Structures are given as structure tokens and as C-alpha cells.
């Protein structure tokens, strides 16, 4: 875990439709992307991920000295009556996903969780059931998705990776957060010599800080375990992860019950049909 980030100053524009981190406002103005509509109407970029209601692209914006790479997620969403009801009650399920990712990026950074650098976000309700929104974040330069990175490691490198990953996950949960999509592809790895750093991404379903029941923590760990198995991580390494995550040298009856639950969850995840195909979420 890194040090907590200082409060990040932001500007609220267009009567609340658009919010921009002040550090990036000159960059957006230089590229004529300082209005909600200009960002939603932007053409080009390299497609990264497309699912119903959401499209992610990679862009290179003109900077003062060199291009700045960013990721832009745009949502075109039809709100169900259930979501509208949750909005009225201000429940997490009613929160727009783009605005939630923006908010959680700031919250996690303040708690010292290594994550995305948020640039801008915005939302507009076009009709009762229609909403458009976006979130823009800085590219993690040199970052490698965890499920790709772990495939390059030998047994010793994988062991060290598991140790760092268990430490990250334990601290993330101890800080009072759950991810709800805690897969290896949502943990980017930065390698500088022998030093490995992590960045947690895909924050639109993250909740916290709060006190969560164990079953929510177990779901995160099981999601991580299933994606690790898909990446070829042996079961013995996952057992090592469990020991390190819980700080255990020996397993008691409660641990064995917990492991059985996780194994069932991992098995279910590995055998279910992905909602939007096999391409990894971004």
C-alpha cells in the first residue's frame, strides 16, 4: 500500500455535468475537451472494450511537450425502474457507474490504495430512463495486467508475486473496501528492476470504506483465485496466498470450512458462462 494521496482539487463545470481534476484542466482545454458534450461526441481512439451500454477507448491527447495517453469509458444507459428506485434511496446500485469509478478512485487514493489517476467525469440525464456518462483516467504507463504478468514468472518469481498480492489484498480489505470484480486482470503490475508495484483498476463496483461480512471478502478472494487458475497458477500457490492473507501458519477447522467455500465459489466461477464473452473486462 502506498502513502495516502493529498486531497485532489477539482473544478465542477456546466452546472455539475462535468468535473475535472484541476491538474488536467489545461490538457483538456488544449484538446477542446472541456465540455461534457465534446467528450461524449469525441471520435477516434483505439477501442479497448465494448459491452452493451459501455465502450472504452484509449486516446493520446496533445500535451505541452508530448502526447498524454488516457482511457475513456463512455456509458449510454437505459435506467430500469429498479435502478431509479435505488437512486431515490441513494443506494450504491443506483449510482452511475462512471461517477462511482471517479469517486472511488479519489477515495482509494486518499486511503493509500494504489489505483487509477482520475482526470474527469460527467453525467447527463437525457430523459427519465436515459442517462449518458463518462469517466476519463490516465493510462498506467508500463502497466501489465496481472493475469498476463504472472504467466511470465518462474516458480520463485510467482511465489514473490503471490506474497505481494496477498499483502495488497489483506490491506485493501482491512481498509474496509470490497471490489466485487477482483480478478487478476484488474490488478496492473508495474515492474522497475526488482521492484513490483500494483495498481487496482475497474472501480465502478467498489464499495467502502465500511465493515463487510466475511462472505463479501470471500467473494473477492475467490474471484482472484479463479482468474489465477485461468492464468495457470498452481493450487499450492493459492494455498500459500490463503496462509499469507490470513496470517496463518497452520490451518484450523474454521480455515478448512472457509477454504471449502472458496473452492466451491472458484469452481462455480470457472464453469459459468461469461456475461459478455471471453474478453477481459477493462
pLDDT in tens, 27-84: 999 999 999 999 999 999 999 999 999 999 999 999 988 999 999 999 998 766 665 5
Same-domain pairing of 176 and 134: no
Number of structural domains found in the chain: 2
CATH of residue 234's domain is 1.10.510.10
Q: What is the pLDDT of residue 78?
A: 78
Q: What is the CA radius of gyration of the chain?
A: 20
Residue 164 lies in a domain: yes
Residue 180 lies in a domain: yes
Same-domain pairing of 116 and 156: no
pLDDT in tens, 267-279: 999 988 766 544 4
Residue 1 lies in a domain: no
Residue range of the domain that includes 247: 144-271
Residue ending a domain, choose from 138, 165, 189: 138
Per DSSP (E only), the strands in the chain are: 10-13, 18-21, 46-51, 54-61, 68-78, 118-125, 130-138, 144-145, 187-192, 195-200
Same-domain pairing of 130 and 201: no
Same-domain pairing of 165 and 133: no
Would the pLDDT of 96 be above 80? yes
Query: Helix, strand or coil for residue 21?
Result: strand
Residue 43 lies in a domain: yes
Residue 277 lies in a domain: no
Dihedral sign for Cα atoms in the order 97, 99, 101, 107: negative
Q: What is the CB-side half-sphere exposure of residue 23 using CA atoms within 13 A?
A: 9
Residue 282 lies in a domain: no
Same-domain pairing of 16 and 134: yes
User: 492473507: which residue's cell?
Assistant: 245
Residue ending a domain, choose from 123, 138, 153: 138
Query: Helix, strand or coil for residue 272?
Result: coil
Q: What is the CB-side half-sphere exposure of residue 188 using CA atoms within 13 A?
A: 18
pLDDT in tens, 176-219: 999 999 999 999 999 987 789 999 999 999 999 999 999 999 99
| 178 vs 73: CA distance, rounded Å | 21
User: 484488474: which residue's cell?
Assistant: 186
Same-domain pairing of 90 and 198: no
Cβ-contact 119, 24 below 8 angstroms: yes
Amino acid at each position: 500500500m502506498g502513502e495516502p494521496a493529498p486531497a485532489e482539487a477539482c473544478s465542477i463545470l456546466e452546472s455539475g455535468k462535468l468535473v475535472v481534476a484541476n491538474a488536467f484542466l489545461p490538457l483538456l482545454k488544449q484538446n477542446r475537451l472541456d465540455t461534457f458534450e465534446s467528450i461524449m461526441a469525441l471520435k477516434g481512439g483505439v477501442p479497448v472494450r465494448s459491452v452493451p451500454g459501455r465502450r472504452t477507448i484509449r486516446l493520446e491527447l496533445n500535451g505541452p511537450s508530448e502526447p498524454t495517453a488516457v482511457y475513456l469509458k463512455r456509458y449510454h444507459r437505459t435506467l430500469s425502474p429498479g435502478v431509479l428506485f435505488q437512486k431515490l434511496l441513494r443506494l450504491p446500485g443506483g449510482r452511475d457507474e462512471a461517477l462511482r469509478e471517479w469517486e472511488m478512485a479519489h477515495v482509494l487514493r486518499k486511503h493509500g490504495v494504489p489505483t487509477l489517476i482520475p482526470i474527469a467525469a460527467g453525467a447527463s440525464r437525457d430523459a427519465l430512463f436515459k442517462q449518458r456518462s463518462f469517466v476519463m483516467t490516465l493510462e498506467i504507463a508500463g502497466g501489465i495486467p496481472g493475469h498476463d504478468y504472472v504467466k511470465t514468472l518462474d516458480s520463485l518469481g510467482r511465489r514473490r508475486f503471490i506474497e505481494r498480492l496477498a499483502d495488497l489484498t489483506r490491506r485493501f480489505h482491512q481498509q474496509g473496501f470490497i471490489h466485487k470484480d477482483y480478478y487478476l486482470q484488474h490488478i496492473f503490475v508495474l515492474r522497475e528492476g526488482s521492484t513490483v508495484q500494483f495498481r487496482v483498476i475497474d472501480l465502478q463496483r467498489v464499495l467502502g470504506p465500511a465493515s463487510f461480512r466475511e462472505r463479501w471478502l470471500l467473494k473477492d478472494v475467490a474471484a482472484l483465485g479463479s482468474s489465477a487458475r485461468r492464468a495457470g497458477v498452481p493450487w499450492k500457490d493459492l494455498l500459500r496466498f490463503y496462509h499469507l492473507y490470513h496470517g496463518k501458519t497452520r490451518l484450523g477447522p474454521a480455515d478448512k470450512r472457509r477454504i471449502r467455500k472458496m473452492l466451491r465459489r472458484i469452481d462455480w466461477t470457472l464453469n459459468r458462462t461469461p456475461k459478455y464473452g471471453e474478453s477481459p473486462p477493462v
